[in-house]
Every structure is written in structure tokens, then in C-alpha cells.
Chains A and B, each alone.
Chain A
Amino acid sequence: MNNPLKALWSKEHKRDGFLLGVAVGSFGITFGVLAISAGLSGPKAAVMSLVVFTGASQFAAVGIVNSGGEPISALGTALLLSARNGAYALSLSQVMPNKLSRRLLAAQLVIDESAAMSKAQSNLQDAKEAFWVTGLSVFFFWNAGTLVGILLGEVVGDPLVWGLDAAFPAAFVALLLPHIKERGKRRAAILGAGVALLTIPLVPSGVPVVLAASSAAIVSWGESRR
């Protein structure tokens, strides 16, 4: 084993961050396959992973377009899902580099995985290293996975098309599970689901999800009064 790799492996936070990225690769493969099955061209799917680089938002946008939704509701829902990255970025202020150009580069790597790994460290140096290793590893494997998925999608895509409209919501269930471990988040999820169900027959398509988003504010207000 050469030196940089050995150094990476001997430090637990770097190894964990790297492995987290590898695990994200399977999500990337899945995104590539689903995007191709949903009718995206290979270049569009690949560019999305490269520049949007926000997993849940990418799945949501492709899923909504696939189910015949308006582009504006695909955009709105995807952005509502990505707003939490702003909160992560704020909370990572000490971890961020000082130079503006590097801060703007680091911003693109602010996602669930890099934020969680960084916040789990007990000292600043480890937190910085965990952020960069995890962020870069996820970035690499998410994009590599997408490319593999695009190639795979050309081969296995057709059978998947038969049940594709169920694959997207099933993906959202799997993406939701890590977000409902705390009580408040669970409540927001339950209220959001209820609001969406109640309003589907009442308002134009695309609006129920926006109304579901308001349960975040309601639950936050309710929890603060406890």
C-alpha cells in the first residue's frame, strides 16, 4: 500500500468518510438507471449528477417529470428538498476554508453525508478532514455510479419501465427513512403525508407537496412550545 492510501486508511474518520462515498455509489447507479428508464438522455443524466449533485432533489425532479408533472413543480419540490443544505453549510462555518474561491468550491460538497461525518468529529482538524474526504468521495462515487447506471440503463432499462412509476416513490421511502429518526422529524413526515393526502383532490397537481412542506413550520412551532 502506498503512503497516501495508508495514511487515509489509518485514520478512522477518513476511512469512514471514504467508505460512505463508496456506499453512495449504489445510489448513483440507481439514479442513472432510473433516469435512463424515465427517458433522459445519457448526457443529461450525467450532467445532472455533476452539477446539481443533490441526490434526493435529482430523484424528485426526474420522478415528477416522469409522472407527467409540470417542470415548475419538479423545480419547486427539488428546491424545497435541497434547502436543508443551506442549514448544513451555516453550521459548518468553522470547517469551511478561509479563501473565498475555496469556500465556493467547498459549498458544492455540502450534503447530508459530508455534514454528518464532519459534525461527528470531536476536534476541528478531524472535522475539516472528514468534510473533504467524505464530500470528495461521495462526489466521485455518485458521479461514477451515475455513469455506470446510464450504461446499465440502456441494457436493463426497458423491463424497469413497466413499474417505473412505483420505483420513484419507493426510492423516496428509502430516502425518507434516515430523516425520521427524531421525534420532530417523524411528526413533520406524518403531518406532511396527511396534508398531501387531504389536498390531492382539492388543489392542482404540484400544490399538495408545497402544502406538505408547510408542516415543517407548523411542527417546528409546535415543538418550540413544548
Chain B
Amino acid sequence: MTWLLIGALTVGCYFFKASGVLAAGNLRLSSNGESALSYLTPAVLSGLIMVQTFDGGGTLEIGAITIGVVVGAIAACAKTPFPLVLVLASVATAITRLL
């Protein structure tokens, strides 16, 4: 993580917020546009989950990470507090690696 990347993230994330605030009143999103924007977050998050869980460098791979993510997902669905979800996922993966 470089300072340059942090700077670009700052500008980019603020850009969306500020352009929404500044355009308000002059621009109204169609209901289609609004729903597409609200669908973006679940679509990207779930894509990212798949990549980080199964991508073994250009091939699909089931391994220690997969075990940890499944454990974490079950914990999250059971409304376990957020920090604990991450600890459980991490520990499950670490144990699998030791086996």
C-alpha cells in the first residue's frame, strides 16, 4: 500500500460523494440507474469473495483459505460479531495449514 494509492483512493471515493452532492437538484437518476448503482456493491463484493477464496493464480483452487472463509461465512450468517468472524476465519485457515 503506497501513499500514492492512498491518495488515489481518497480522491476517487470523495469524487463520488461530492459529485452526488453537487449534482443534486440538477440531476435525477432514473430508477434503472439508481438500482444499477445499488446492485454494484453486492455484485462487486461477491465477485471479490470468490476471487479471494478460490483464485489460486489463474486456476480455481480449494484449500486452506476456502475452509477459513466457509467458517467465517457461517459465523457471519449466525450474526457473530464482526471481529470474531474474522478471527474464526483466520484461525480455521491457520489450523488447516498446520494439519
Contact = CB atoms under 8 A, between A and B. Distances in A.
B40 to A, nearest CB: 4
A167 B38 CA distance: 25
| Interface of chain B: mostly helix, strand, loop or mixed | helix
Interface string B62-99: 00110111011101110001110111111111100100
B35 A189 contact: no
Interface in B39-55: 39-55
A94 B95 CA distance: 52
Interface residues on A, range: 35 or more
Given A61-B5, A89-B21, A213-B44, A177 B76 contact: yes
11 contacts: A26-B81, A77-B44, A79-B13, A81-B45, A84-B41, A165-B52, A174-B82, A187-B39, A209-B44, A215-B39, A216-B39
Interface of B: 1-6, 8-10, 12-14, 16-25, 27-29, 31-32, 34-55, 57-60, 64-65, 67-69, 71-73, 75-77, 81-83, 85-94, 97
Given A78-B13, A201-B59, A26 B83 contact: yes
| Interface of chain A: mostly helix, strand, loop or mixed | helix
Contacts of A11: none
Nearest to A216: B39
Interface string A66-78: 0100010011011
B13 A26 contact: no
A165 to B, nearest CB: 5
Interface string A113-136: 000000000000000000000000
